[in-house]
Amino acid sequence: MDAVSSTPPQVTPPHVKALVEAISGEMSRDELQAVLGLKDRKSFREIYLKPALEEGLIEMTIPDKPNSKLQKYRLTVKG
């Protein structure tokens, strides 16, 4: 039998992929939701934003103030 790696390969969920493809430069949460045609803030944050941030695909422009009204998001090198 072949040896199986103990860590599963990283698979980017389709929601996160759509978010990464939608980002152009630096964009606010409202702008991203509008581009993706989404209205619900909570589900956007949970399904799109958090996973993309956790995977290191996007980053905050003001990381020390995650709840700032001036907060924007941009792609990382990995994204």
Give the pLDDT confidence of 7-40 residue by residue, as tens digits. Answer: 555 677 889 999 999 999 999 999 999 999 999 9
Task: For residues 34-53, give the mean pLDDT.
Answer: 95
Instruction: Tell me, yes or no, whether 45 lies in a domain.
Output: yes
Lookup: tokens for 44:
């956007």
pTM of the shown model: 0.82
Task: For residues 71-78, give the mean pLDDT.
Answer: 96
Q: How far apart are CA 59 and CA 76, in angstroms?
A: 6
Instruction: Tell me, yes or no, whether 6 lies in a domain.
Output: no
∠ Cα 61 21 70 (to 5°): 25
Instruction: Tell me, yes or no, whether 54 lies in a domain.
Output: yes
Tally the domains of the chain.
Answer: 1
- Mapping DSSP onto H, E and C, the string for the chain reads CCCCCCCCCCCCCHHHHHHHHHCCCCECHHHHHHHHCCCCHHHHHHHHHHHHHHCCCEEECCCCCCCCCCCCEEECCCC
The domain containing residue 57 runs over which residues? 14-75
